[in-house]
Structure 1
Amino acid sequence: MTELDTALLAAIADQSDDRDATIAFITEHPEPAHAEHLASAHLADRLGAAGFRVERGIAGMPTAFRAEIDGAGPGRTVGVIAVYDAVSAQLPDGTTAPIHSCGHGPQSAGVVGAALALAAQREHWDGRLVVVGCPADEIHSPGTREHGSGKGATARAGVWDDIDVALYPHPEFFDTIWTASLWMRRETAVISGGRTLRADTDPAPIAALRELAALSADSDPGRVMIETAVLDGDVEEGAGLTMTIRLLLFAETEAELESSSAAVRARFAGAEWTAGAAISAIRYDADVAATVADAFRAAGRDPVLDPEPLPFATDFGDVTQRVPAALVGVGRDGGWGFHTDRGAHEFAGDDGRRIASDIAGVIALAVPRLSRRAD
């Protein structure tokens, strides 16, 4: 551990009240994808008050921001992602409500905590730190379905083009730097037809409903996920009837994703299909991972260096296609109840406050190591 490591960890310990207040604010103001106005403003304001140059509304997203600060001398630029949207939770009565059950309060508080500690010690490290506030992390949120994911949008808009290394920390079951994830794409089918009251006629939307049930029965639900299915129509003979199916397709490679898409589409004759942008699998960078692993060890933690691949997709994959990067899991024994009432309680309580401190420590120690490393 270096003198700077010690100073950064001391600064993180000293700011616990501010960090806890940020968790409380985010938790008490749950906002869904692309509507995180209060959360975005709160985080950007905290960074601006610490001397960061803040640009709001980046990449065409009103609730995205970029905040940057320089160290003492020339070096590399390290970007760190903060996320702050709430889960659009499905309630027992069929309605949805924004609830922070994915850890974005502690995640964003931890990232901002690391940034504030680094700002306080900026005379002792070189390079530049950029915090990128990304809305719309949650795949299923209506805002993400309509407007796309935040990290993907920043990648397409060139936000990462002047950044040398990207980090995305998130609460996890164990400490690690993830090596692989899945590709993903959302595909929507609309099957149109007419209502009939006759038993000897098979309208296309009804046939599609049966085919959807068959697809569910003979597909891996981790690779072909039925997100929504709605049969809707008038009640009179010959009146309009439609079946709308929204699927999430997952695959290990882009070619496998295309093959899966073709196979699924072939099952629904006459459907009109639309597709969202594909989310790339993460691109692993061994050098960045080794440096982050050293930061873990300096923080007194022992990361798993050969984890099983993530069994899902993250739009951070799009960022990793633009810049060397690391998807950083900061763990807790026993894990988390992601997207459940239990998880909401964990992230809002003592466990959430501890993981925010842990995230802040690992990221604060990683940034100077990455920003000073020679190309």
Structure 2
Amino acid sequence: MAVESHDGRFRDAVVAATPTIHEIVDAITAHAELAHEETESAGHLTARLRDAGYTVSEGIVGMPTAFRAELQLGSPGTTVGLIAVYDAPASKNDAGAVEPVHSCGHGPQAGGVIGAALALAAVREQLTGTVVIVGCPADEIHSPRTRELGSGKALAADRGVFDDIDVVLYPHPEFIDTVWPASLWMRRETATVVGIRTLRRDVVSTPLAALAAVSGISEAMDPATLIIESVSMDGDVEESAGMTFTAEFLVFAWTEDELESRVAELHDRLGPATWTSSAAILPVRPDAAVTAVVGDAFTAAGRTFIADPPPLGFATDFGNVSQVARAAIVGVGRGDGWRYHTPQGAEEFAGPAGKDCAVTTAEVLGLSVIRLGAGAAG
């Protein structure tokens, strides 16, 4: 039977699940939690999945707020994974303190993924394949514990979570309906300079020299390819007492060679320092067959799919997932766009536009799963 014959039943199931999808957006928004601390959010999502018949494993691969939920559909076929994210950006409030605020669309993103999972479960007997929902913490690269422990999708990929999944889809609210064909490399570089405090003009303090070099770096290097993430100075106040300079930089590039060249330039411009490097965030690896299936799902949902978008202008740790499984990063568009990482954006994602995006995400993902499960991208 053609997969299109199942579309109507599935879309009806999405309509029936819409109040629940809206409720999930509200719940994630109300429980804004930083990376690797998403206890309430992960618990809410896993409860929904378990109630729908999924087999759920929590706290997987050493990440307490990560989970994997699996459902066998009516007959054997392709295993399709959907990634949910649910951490909030580490925003700065008016007092300058770190505060979790859902201003990057993870409420609609999680609502859409779980909504697709619930609607697929409601019509499972007619469908083919296996659905795996992977809950990944720590999407936000700047959050304190992401910087300390690593990002959820990259860690999950490195630890084998996707090894038995045939195709993985990761949706996110965007400006257009598309599958992104490329993204940037990224690496975090951390410099440490240990020296002395001095109260004299004729004595060189290497930490202060490094601090002075930072302003030159910001002027000399393209801010689209290097972000000065944080800078700190700490030390005793007496002459010749110990002092430490620490700085974190995010370095971006389109190729690995370009990344290494840019990192070398950064090191040279800062001067003598002890450097540590994070694991690289890898670029998205495109899959034309998977992209075509997702495009067909957008069309079936009555949406206009953009088949030839520009490259994604930033890095995403979903790139690491795409290196171990066939994959697509799915943009679910809105004509007016989104004001990411702003108070206005938080209102958009929590409001009617965000909830509409969640329902559309559920529909497009589920229609994609139906096609992929039947081997449409084989």
TM-score, length basis structure 2: 0.97
List aligned pairs for 1:84-123, cutoff 5 A.
Answer: 84-123=86-125
Within-5 A mapping of 1:188-227: 188-227=190-229
Q: Which residue identity does 2:265 align to in structure 1?
A: A
Pair 1:162 & 2:161 matched = no
2:353 equivalent in structure 1: 351
Q: Which amino acid aligns with 1:170?
A: H
CA RMSD of aligned residues (A): 1.0
Gaps of 5+ in 2: none
Letter in 1 for 2:135: G
By how many angstroms is 1:83 displaced?
0.3
What per-residue deviation string (whole Å, max 9, x for no partner) do you get for residues 235-256 of structure 1? 1111111111100000101121
* Among candidates 85, 99, 110, match of residue 83 of structure 1: 85
Matched residues, number: 375
Q: Which residue of 2 aligns with 1:328?
A: 330
CA distance in 2, matches of 1:280, 1:165: 18
Distance 1:207 1:170 in 2: 42
Q: Take 1:169 and 1:224, find their aligned partners in 2: how far apart are those partners? A: 26
Indicate the residue corresponding to 1:147 in structure 2: 149
* Partner amino acid, structure 2, of 1:121: V
- Over 6 Å off, 4+ runs: none
Instruction: Tell me the CA shift for residue 115 of structure 1.
Output: 0.6
Q: Which has the higher mean CA deviation after the structures are superposed, 350-359 or 8-17?
A: 8-17
CA distance in structure 1 between the partners assigned to 2:95 and 2:192 by the alignment? 26
312-321 or 84-93, larger mean C-alpha shift: 84-93
Structure 2 Cα separation of the partners of residues 305 and 231 of structure 1: 48
Q: Residue 175 of structure 2 contacts residue 333 of structure 2 at CA under 8 Å; is this kept in 1?
A: yes
CA distance in 2, matches of 1:15, 1:270: 58
State the Cα deviation string for residues 133-160 of structure 1 (Å, max 9, x = none). Answer: 0000000000100110000011011011
Deviations 1:182-233 (A, max 9, x none): 0000110011111111122231111111111000001111111100011222
Percent identity among equivalent residues?
54
Structure 2 matches for 1:245-284, cutoff 5 A? 245-284=247-286
| Partner SS state of residue 318, structure 1 | helix
SS where residue 266 of structure 1 aligns? helix
Gaps of 5+ in 1: none
1:361 and 2:363 are equivalent in the alignment: yes
Residue pair 2:284, 2:320 contacting (<8 A) in 1 also: yes
Please, which of 48, 73, 76 is the counterpart of residue 75 of structure 2? 73
State the 1:71 CA deviation. 1.1
- The one-letter amino acid paired with 2:73 is G
- Of the three residues 124, 133, 136, the one matched with 1:134 is 136
AA aligned opposite 1:74: P
Counterpart secondary structure, 2:128 = coil
